[in-house]
Structure 1
Amino acid sequence: MASFFEKRDPWGHSLSLWVVVLMIFVTPVLFGVLREIRQENNVENWLPPDDPQSKVLQWHRDSFGIEDRVLVSWDGSSLTDLRADRLKQSLLGQKDAKGVRRGGSPYILDVATPQDAIQKMVDYHIDPDEAERRLKGVLIGTGMLKVRLSPAGKKRREQTIQELIATTKRELGIDLTVKPAFTPWVEMVDETEEGTVTDAPVEEPDEDQVDFKALVEAIPEHDFQLIWPRMQAHSKQADQIKEIALSLRRPEILVGASTAADQEAKSDQLGEEPKLIEDCFFAIGTPIAVAISLSDTGDADHASAVAAIKTAAVDAGIPAENLHMGGRPVAGAALNRMVKESSWNTAYPLWQFHKRSVTLFSGLIGIALAFLMLRSVRLACLVLLVSYYTTFVAVSIIPMTGGTMNMVLVVMPTLLTVLTLSGSIHVANYWKHAAHVDMKTAVVKAVEMARAPCMMASLTTAIGLASLLTSPLSPVRDFGLYASIGCVVSLLMVLYGLPSLLQLWPAKPPKASEIDTRHWQAFGRGLSRHQWLVSFSCLAIFVAACYGFKWFRTETKVIRYFPDSSRVIQDYLFLEENLSGITPVDTVICFDEKAQEDLNFEERVELVRNIERKIAEHPEISGTISLADFRPVSEPLPKDASTFQKLRHAKRVNETERRVRESLKKEKSGEVNLEGDTVKSFLNIADHTADLEQETANGARMVDIQKGDEMWRITAQVAIMTDLNYADLTNELNQVTQSVLRDHAGTTHLVTGTIPLFLRTQQAVLESLIKSFGLAFAVIAVVMMVLLRSPTAGLITMLPNLMPIGVIFGLLSWMHVAVDIGTMITASVALGIAVDGTLHLLTWFKIGIEEGKSKSEAVAAALGHCGPAMWQTSAVVAISLAMLYPAELLLVSRFGILMCALITAALLADIIFLPALLAGPLGTLIVNSQKREQKATEKHPLLQEGKESKPHLSHVVKRAQSEQSFET
């Protein structure tokens, strides 16, 4: 039967022409489709809606009406800073005569300032100092460590500072940074400006108006401030630095004093203060933060919302370089921007092209290497054209099917490019061998030789990628789906696109020296002679690396994808070191009808306050807030209270509960304006039942919410930039809450928010890695067993394919490097790529055995045939992917360098470990299997006749080798 490339259409044209015409025709159509591609990088949407933690989080958001929030602060901010109110007015607009706000940003729903929160607390008869304390670590920070020098220290200020820095570095290894003392912000007024009113009447102060100036002036005097990386006010490091600072003494007083007692005695004799630093402390009051809630419009477009906040901040008088922003919308917008910048970043000049576009630079390196390896400009151009066209088609499928680009899919174009490049280089090498014999039949013979191994390699790679569809994480499933489809497109382009182009635009036939493989054959014979040593050495490396899996861990924090030098990381560090943790974790306390009858409203408030106080004592929590913070502390009714006192107390409690519930009803009906109460944010009444599952240290527990249950929310702020184990934190919050609630029947609780979602996502990453890799391994192992006609041989053949994953991931675990969502997908991808070289080598080893060669000679012949293509493919792919390392988005950078390592390891496994196994027991199993197959064929003459009539794949190679030997 004639080959596809030998057939002609009714007009006498080769079918290759129509393949190329089809490629040209769909190009403009796909360009139009590709312009509609969108990005989506919302971590909260990674898990499916039916996941237990997703259900809890959605219930939590529906119950309390929680919107996405952005935390905004700036250098030198304090409670007297008028720019906070200006920022609020700029974002929300001004009220008109009818009380309707005009001129605000459509991206903003609400703005909460610490001044408003304190004023609201004072309105509820809470002392301003107490109100300020309750907002510590939420909207008000303690700032840097403030240092007050003694008179002796002030005389030698610079020497004291240098001694403190040097001593801290020597004893603790911490680098201190010295900052000026805090000074309250004062607005500079230009009195010469026209329209400036200098004699405006001064309004009488409201008795209930908080004196914020007095709160700021309460910060004790100090001489300078200290800050250090990952600073936390209540950490052990802070206590150690305080101890060092207070222990510094003036050198001239200490001369001749060898002990602390001598120092004190000598200082007493001289009558002088030996201390250089009188005190060091953290003080509440600076900086402050403004919490900005996004509207539905802002939630749909984080980039525009963040830009609107930045513009409003500058209009309020806050310099852009002093502004610091944090929160999920900020990280999401920055992630989307960096994903785009990995393709084209105009911040870098063209002469720094490796930074301007790491993906394009990776492609250019691949082009250069392809020219170098193939030694033919035309052949290299065709190979690269097919590779990039495949990527173009595969990426166009995403918007065509309604999909969106995400942080994981961003690496798919590079992956498909290198996978197609791999298959194309194999076909190009087959064509060079065939063209050396006969240019007219070169394309047909090359496709005949490439079809079986390329189909098996592409399909096994597609299986490895499709196994990612078992993941509960949507970005991983999307990657598995579109990348596996891309593998099928790649196979069609390798077996039909490239041969069609070669038939219409053939390259020059290669020289004999270009297909000289004697050094590869010699290498194969050397491996055969030392098969046992090589095999056991490879196994020893494999086992030693796999031992590192005992330290295997996962990481899903989006903020970890940014480099330390990025603006978003610097902003997060400022906020967490000076003010508040970025990540909220919520504890919801539920009272059923019985608990509401047993405990009156004030008793429930105090119960929530008690739980909040215990949560706030956790060292990793910067601050907490709940509705109890807006209520004064209630004194319990004395046991000997009179009936009148009891009735009056009950009336007061009932009246308080009635007002709170009326306010809640108004909020639900939308009657309360933006300045109204915010009861619904912290308290709600369940209007329907819900069966929720809560993960605890002792396993899952069910929480049943009934209609009418009263739910109180306690929000705790936790740092995201630390290495805190969120599983331990969640378990500790559960234990703290349960320790208080266990004595009150009818109460239960839930811990939810971003942190539990992180934990579930981390578990899903691990589950995805195990399931997808296990499924891919099982399917590919079955394929190998069928191909080799031996279950044992199939399993042994999988060892070289497992070795790259085991060694590289084992070394990552040895180095305590966490596996993120981008790293996870490389395992299944690497397995598919490793199988590519294995299948090509096995194919030609079996051909050698069929020709009557010994195992050693068959290994040498197989390496001689496949070695150059495997080396060229691996070099082009690995080096190209390594060029992604400079990418600022660490997800892309890590993917590139890890894939480079995996491909290098796969090459070494395929050209060292596999040949050694083929020369030993694996080769024996394959030989025995082929002998059994031959005997079975001899018993059935029809099978023998069919086999003999089929042209052998090795004929072209034998003729090329004979020709080469004759010329030599």
Structure 2
Amino acid sequence: MHYSQLLQFALNKPKTIYAIVITMVLISLAMIPQLTIDTDPENMLSSQNSERVFHNNIKKTFNMPDMIVVGIVSENSIYQPKTLAILQQLSDKILQIEGVITQDLLSLSVVDNITQEKNGGIRFEYLMQRAPKDLAGSEKIAEAVKRLPLLANTLVSGDDKAAAIYVPITAKDLSYSIAEQIREINQTFTHHDLTFHITGLPIAEDQFGYEMFVQMGIAAPLAGLAIFVLLWYFFRNFPLIIAPMAVAMATVIIIMGALIGLGFTVHIMTSMIAIFLMPIAVVDSVHILSEFSDRYKEGDDTKQVIKKVMSHLFTPMLFTSITSAVGFYSLLLTPIPPVKIFGAFIGTGILLAFLLTVIYLPVYLSRLSPKSLANLQLAVAKMEEKGRLSNSLLWLGNLATKKAKAIIFSFIVIFIFSLVGINKIIINDNPVNWFKADHEIRIADKVLNEHFAGTYDAWLVFSQPQKDVQQAELTFMQLIADANQQGIDLSTIQEHLAQWKSSTDKGIFSQELLIKLDDLAFSVAMEHQAAIDKLYQFADQQFAQQKLYIQPEMLNWLADLQTALNNTALVGKTNGLSDIVRTVNRELHSGNALDFVIPKTSNGVAQTLLQYQSSHRPNDLWHFVSQDYQQSLIWLQMTSGDNQHTTAVVEWVNQYVQQNPAPIDVEMNWAGKSYLNIVWQDAMVNGMLNSLLSSFVIVFLMMALLFRSIKYGVLAMLPLTLTISLIYGLIGWLGKAYDMPIAVLSALTLGLSIDFAIHFLQRVRELEKQTNSLTKALLLMFEEPSRAISRNAIVIAIGFTPLLLSPLMPYITVGFFLASIMIVSALVTLLLLPALLSLFSKDQTTNNQA
């Protein structure tokens, strides 16, 4: 069906159109209560992403839950009876909160002190089972903490002025509710010298989700109000401006309803859909209202005027909508799931807004009363007679045509300036920095990281190479096959192997296998004894060899790596298996620093580990080594969660390991939230670049097709190119980190900046045909057409300004840069395009020759 037929149908069946729109809105509204929030940056990666899979496997293998960090900071030493009593009371109350993993909570009141027994041996006792009554008791605790490397500068700061409680939680999405309960507990303590802080990536992410939900309910209505007020200022007619607002509201409700109804969670990206679509959805309406108000005269047939307006505007509006949608659909090329969803629904929302605009708006205008139309004409005529906007645009048009060479030269200089700035862009992000500097999360992060080794963590994991393990397993299976050929009954071994195959976290060579082989040796015939002995010896040898992390040379190498890391400015502290082994070994011997070493034999190491497992927290051992001793984890504490910082740590470790290889071949991998952040950031940057380049090519081809001219296709792309270059150049020059919101702006810039160029060039060509003069056409462009473009830029820019009031930095960033993008792209369109056209127009050449 041709659009003119569709328009005629809509004008003849207004109630049908209204009924369809209202039904879609009501169905979508019914979906809204099913909304679920997701702010976990881990979901920026696909569930099949190898780094994400490894991270989650490591969490399971080493039992490393997500943790909230609770800090108590004192003006004096933390080792005061009253302060330690508060710390113990707080710990006890936190242990009662549902969702806290009690056995893994870290606090002075629940960890062990490791000392020598008077008659020899080693003693494990609670460091602070009860808070001390006097200063002498407090000082004993201080001395003990300083002797225990796993506690020093982790549970108590190096300056003794802060203590920390690490609160492990069963699920990340409980972070906010648990933190709120802890805040309520903190308010019950009235010690004036103490301040309480809560931080950590899980709480930062979950609290962001809560505040993001609040912002969704505030920013979108504020944007709608700002647009409504602005439209009233432009058209001074309430009945008229209800139409574009209805289109915008319907678009937002239908798209958000579809998003939720299809089962998608609302992520930090998709939370911005409403605020993005609200101003974008009124763009076409402003063009229609501007031209309608310019064309309509009292007594005219409203429907005929609408048809003329739509015949002029339908094609450019269609192409601007398609190109804007393409800009967002290009995000489907990124490897980031939430960004894909965001791009798909914004792109669809733009097309829906276009469809509603070209069907619903004409129907609405055709049913306005003659009085409303007369008021519209009067208001617009008064505003445009000698209005500031009209005068400014006439001055701008005169400048663009008279100073064409100077303007073009200026834009060339700006473009070069922008390219230099782009090369200065720094890629960086940190979920804690999603809050303003005065937010309690940011304050807590700053204070606690000034005192402690760091509240950010990364996990460095060493494993036996899989190729070695697989080769040993193949050899063993071949020995099993040989024994089977000899007719030996290996049913008990086969059952064990079947169980092993169903288990993904255990090696084939284990104590259980050795016991079964030993039992089998007593039951087989004498002629088969040699074959079973061969199986046993091979399994025993592999079992011993694969227990890498009871080998002294490996533990010494890990200890050296930790020492080297601790001596850098990159890491506040490292915690690992070597700390446990050396601490226990010291207390098993002299108790002096001289014996704070790794034992010389595997049996010596095994003895220290066996002793440690008699402590009150034996399972703490498995945070640093797997139960088959084939993997070991080093916990890095860092004072910064910035991607750049974590990347620097990774590069330093890579270089160290290359220069100081392990004594036994091992595989090294990274896990932890801080590391995952750099993984998805890298994927996002590369994905955004690919999507931008591909959509840029597609949009150029569409422009050439629309104008049926390569020259005009290139002209249409120039404002877009300069706007993207200038915005990102300024980001580089200003030192603003390239983070997730900034990355997404590339698609927004491409999708929205092209709008103005399309309308400008389309109208110039129409006016040139009417006047047979490009010079006259350019003069006419700076009347109604340029006013429509300017209004659109102002409406969209103002529509995003409510985001500047948000307490969340991603919203502020998006609001500021989108408003800037709209103003810049409109100015570039209204200055550069007329300058280029006037410089190369035949009219100009003829005038110069005359």
Q: TM-score range with shorter-chain normalisation?
A: 0.7 to 0.9
Indicate yes or no: 2:408 matched with 1:535. Answer: yes
CA contact (8 A) 2:158 2:451 kept: no
Partner of residue 174 from structure 2, selected from 296, 301, 305: 301
Superposed CA deviations along residues 618-651 of structure 1, whole A, max 9, x for unmatched, are 223222212322223659xxxxxxxxxxxx9869
Task: Please give the secondary structure, in 1, of the residue aligned with 2:636.
Answer: strand
1:544 is aligned to 2:417: yes
Give the deviation of 1:601 after TM superposition.
3.9
Match of 1:228 in 2: none
| Alignment match, 1:288 | 163
**Counterpart amino acid of 1:620?**
L
Residue in 1 that maps onto 2:511: none
Please, what is the CA RMSD of the aligned residues? 4.0
1:328–1:91 Cα change, 3 Å: same
Does residue 467 (structure 1) correspond to residue 330 (structure 2)? The answer is yes
- The normalised TM-score by structure 2 is 0.77
Whether 2:46 is the aligned partner of 1:48: answer yes
What is residue 613 of structure 1 aligned with on the other side? 563
Partner of 1:566: 439
* 2:369 is the alignment partner of 1:508: no
Are 2:226 and 1:365 equivalent residues in the alignment?
yes
User: Is the partner of 1:291 in helix, strand or coil?
Assistant: strand
Report SS of the residue matched to 2:634. Answer: strand
TM superposition shift of 1:417: 1.1
Of the three residues 898, 901, 908, the one matched with 2:827 is 908
Compared CA separation, residues 497 and 909, structure 1 to 2 (3 A): same
Determine the C-alpha separation between the residues in 2 that align with 1:452 and 1:655. Answer: 78
Q: Tell me which residue corresponds to 1:582.
A: 455
Distance of 1:883 and 1:393 partners within structure 2: 22
Displacement of 1:409: 2.1
Q: Is the contact made by 2:112 and 2:616 (CA closer than 8 Å) also made in structure 1? A: no
CA contact (8 A) 1:808 1:902 kept: yes
Structure 1 residue ranges without an equivalent (≥5): 94-103, 140-183, 189-209, 221-232, 234-281, 345-356, 636-647, 664-671, 686-707, 928-968
Aligned counterpart for 2:55 among listed residues 48, 54, 57? 57
Instruction: State the TM-score, normalized to the length of structure 1.
Output: 0.68
Q: CA deviation at 1:852?
A: 5.1
Aligned to 1:92: 95
Same amino acid, percent of matched pairs: 17
Q: How does 1:214-253 map to 2 (within 5 A)?
A: 214-216=140-142
**1:39 offset after TM fit, Å?**
1.0
Q: Return the alpha-carbon distance in structure 1 between the equivalents of residues 579 and 277 of structure 2.
A: 56
Q: Is the contact made by 2:223 and 2:278 (CA closer than 8 Å) also made in structure 1?
A: no
Cα deviation code 1:57-104 (max 9, x no counterpart): 2332232122111111213344861344433433434xxxxxxxxxx5
Name the structure 1 match of 2:579.
629
- Offset of 1:825 from its aligned partner? 1.4
How far 1:882 sits from its partner (Å)? 2.6
Q: Report the secondary structure of 1:920's partner residue.
A: helix
Q: Does 1:487 align with 2:350?
A: yes
- Structure 1 counterpart SS, 2:35: coil
Once residues 774 and 305 of structure 2 are traced to their aligned partners in structure 1, the CA distance between those partners, rounded to angstroms, is: 29
Q: Contact 2:292–2:305 (CA<8 Å) still a contact in 1?
A: yes
Q: CA deviation at 1:821?
A: 0.8
Q: In the TM superposition, what is the alpha-carbon distance from 1:522 to its structure 2 partner?
A: 7.5
TM-aligned CA distance change 1:674 to 1:567, over 3 Å: farther
Counterpart of 1:758 in structure 2 is 677
Q: Is the 8 A contact 1:469 1:480 kept in 2?
A: yes
CA distance in 2, matches of 1:382, 1:321: 57
The CA deviation at 1:864 is 2.8
**3-state SS of paired residue (1:441):** helix
CA contact (8 A) 1:462 1:484 kept: yes
How far apart in 2 are the matches of 1:815 and 1:787?
37
Q: Quote the Cα distance in structure 1 between the aligned partners of 2:339 and 2:565.
A: 35
Q: CA deviation at 1:495?
A: 0.6
Counterpart in the other structure of 1:857:
776
- The partner residue of 1:17 within 9, 15, 18 is 15
Asked if the contact 1:79–1:285 (Cα under 8 Å) also holds between the matched residues in 2, the reply is: no
Higher helix share: 2
Structure 2 counterpart SS, 1:546? helix
1:302-317 counterparts in 2 under 5 A?
302-313=175-186
State the alpha-carbon separation in 1 of the partners of residues 215 and 269 from structure 2.
13
Q: What secondary structure, in the 3-state scheme, does the structure 2 residue paired with 1:784 have?
A: helix
1:74 to 72, 75, 97: 72
Q: Which residue does the alignment assign to 1:653?
A: 604
Match of 2:647 in 1: 727
Stretches of structure 2 that go unaligned for 5 or more consecutive residues are 147-152, 466-541, 587-598, 846-850
Residues 721 and 759 from structure 1, CA distance in 2 versus in 1: closer, same or farther, beyond 3 angstroms? closer
Q: What letter is aligned with 2:639?
A: A
Paired residues of 1:587 and 1:750 also in contact (CA < 8 A): yes
Contact 2:99 2:174 in 1 (8 A): no
Partner of residue 716 from structure 1, selected from 629, 633, 636: 636
The answer as to whether partners of 1:88 and 1:111 remain within 8 angstroms in 2 is no
Query: Is residue 119 from structure 1 mapped to residue 70 from structure 2 by the alignment?
Result: no
Whether the 8 Å contact between 1:5 and 1:444 is mirrored in structure 2 is no
Alpha-carbon distance in 2 for matches of 1:834, 1:337: 33
Equivalence for 2:294? 433
SS at match of 2:582: coil
Is 2:636 the partner of 1:683? no
- What is the CA-CA distance between 1:903 and the residue it aligns to? 0.4
Instruction: Describe the SS at the equivalent of 1:851.
Output: helix
Show the 5 A alignment for 1:660-679: 675-679=617-621
1:918 pairs with 2:779: no
**Is contact 2:464–2:548 with CA below 8 Å preserved after alignment?**
no
Cα distance in 2, alignment partners of residues 537 and 457 from structure 1: 27
What is the rounded CA distance, in whole Å, between the counterparts of 1:8 and 1:408 in structure 2?
38
What's the secondary structure of 1:472's corresponding residue? coil
User: Is the 1:595–1:746 contact (alpha carbons within 8 Å) kept by the matching residues of 2?
Assistant: no
Which secondary structure state, in structure 2, belongs to the residue aligned with residue 563 of structure 1? coil
**1:820 aligned to 2:739?**
yes
Q: Is the 8 A contact 1:590 1:709 kept in 2?
A: no
Contact 1:110 1:294 in 2 (8 A): no
Whole-Å Cα distance in 1 between the matches of residues 165 and 394 of structure 2? 71
The code of the aligned residue for 2:23 comes to F
Q: How far off is 1:563 after superposition?
A: 0.8
Match of 1:845 among 764, 768, 784: 764
Could you tell me which amino acid in structure 2 is paired with residue 677 of structure 1?
N
Shift of 1:333: 2.3
Aligned 8 A contact 2:430 2:641 in 1: no
1:408 corresponds to? 269
Shift of 1:371: 0.4
Letter in 1 for 2:575: I
Taking a change above 3 Å as real, the CA distance of residues 409 and 432 of structure 1, as seen in their structure-2 partners, is same
Quote how far apart the aligned CAs of 1:709 are. Answer: 6.6
| Corresponding position: 1:341 with 2:214 | yes
Change (3 A) 1:69 1:721: closer
Contact 2:28/2:256 (CA < 8 Å) preserved in 1?
no
Is the contact between residue 562 and residue 574 of structure 2 (CA under 8 Å) also seen in structure 1? yes
> CA–CA distance in 2 between the matches of 1:83 and 1:674?
23
What is the CA distance between 1:358 and its match in structure 2? Answer: 4.4
Post-superposition shift, 1:337? 2.4
Please say if residues 881 and 900 of structure 1, whose CA atoms lie closer than 8 Å, have aligned partners that are also in contact: yes
**Structure 2 match to 1:29:** 27
Deviation, 1:30, is 2.2
How far has the Cα of 1:740 moved from its partner?
4.2
2:571–2:649 CA contact under 8 A, matched in 1: no
Relative to 1, partners in 2 of residues 1:8 and 1:850: Cα closer, same or farther, differing over 3 Å?
Answer: closer
SS in 1 for 2:343: helix
Partner of 2:523: none
Matched, 1:741 2:602: no
Q: What code does the residue aligned with 2:561 have?
A: I
Amino acid at match of 1:427: I
CA distance in 2: counterparts of 1:391 and 1:651, whole angstroms: 66
Letter matched to residue 727 of structure 1: T
Tell me the number of residue pairs that the alignment of Structure 1 and Structure 2 aligns: 727
Does 2:721 align with 1:770?
Answer: no
